[in-house]
Amino acid sequence: MNGLLYPFQQSVRRDLLLAARHKTEIITALFFFVIVVNLLPLGIGPDPDLLRKIAPGALWIGALLATLLGLQRLFAPDHADGTLEQMALSPQSFTLLVAGKILAHWLVAGLPVVLIAPVLGLQFDLSGRGLLILTVSLLLGTPILSLIGAVGAALTLGVRGSGALLSLLILPLYIPALIFGAGAVEADLAGLGPEGHLSLLAALLVVSTFFAPWVTTVALRVALE
């Protein structure tokens, strides 16, 4: 089992080491998330009821945009220096190597958002239960954003104007995760219970985890030809 997962572990380790050498990219994405979320209360005003209503959508949109910020560099640097082609030609599983890169992207771009979201949620007057549900929804949903985003990044690899094309391609695919993630908190605030939304979000995560690395691998092989 360890031998089978070795390419995956090495890919995660490599990308985390590279991210540690470029800390500004991590800080930029996190700072962007904080700024986006903080601007909305300033623009809308101090009404607690209104802030509670917009909180789930505001935090989820901020998480979505922060994830999108780093997607273009998920495969582009490795493609530019030939590393991606060496990965594709190596005897190790290319799908596992790609899956490792996706997990590393989530650890760098998604996990910090999940950890800081409850702190930002306090300014929206969310209750402790609301903050917990928000955190769970982001913990289930942000990996989906990375998985779907990886497919888009692979499909647009090497294409001129790939940044704009990537956004147009994957933003519609993010809508179900956004609806179920924000809807979980909204349903709880309305007294309906978040279980249904969280279950659907978990189902999306399972499906994305199963299919996205494989689809991304196929798209990368096409881009490398």
* 12 phi-psi bin (left φ>0, alpha ψ -120 to 50, beta other): alpha
For the stretch 34-48, pLDDT in tens is 888 888 777 777 777
Of residues 4, 26, 5, the one with CA closest to residue 15: 26
User: Average pLDDT over the chain, rounded to whole?
Assistant: 86
Per-residue pLDDT band at 207 (split at 50, 70, 90): very high
Distances (CA, A) of 36 to 66, 145, 168: 9, 18, 20
Backbone φ and ψ of 124, nearest 5°: -95, 10
Range name among 8-12, 119-123, 159-163 with the lowest pLDDT average: 159-163
What is the predicted pLDDT for the residue at 74?
86
Tokens for 183? Answer: 């809807």
Angle at 141 between CA 164 and CA 6, to 5 degrees: 90
What is the predicted pLDDT for the residue at 2?
55
Contact 62, 145 (CB under 8 A): no
Distances (CA, A) of 191 to 50, 122, 129, 184: 17, 20, 12, 11
For the stretch 105-119, pLDDT in tens is 999 888 989 999 988
- What is the reported pTM? 0.90
Task: Say whether pLDDT at 95 is over 60.
Answer: yes
Could you give the CA distance from residue 72 to residue 76 in angstroms, rounded to a whole number?
Answer: 7
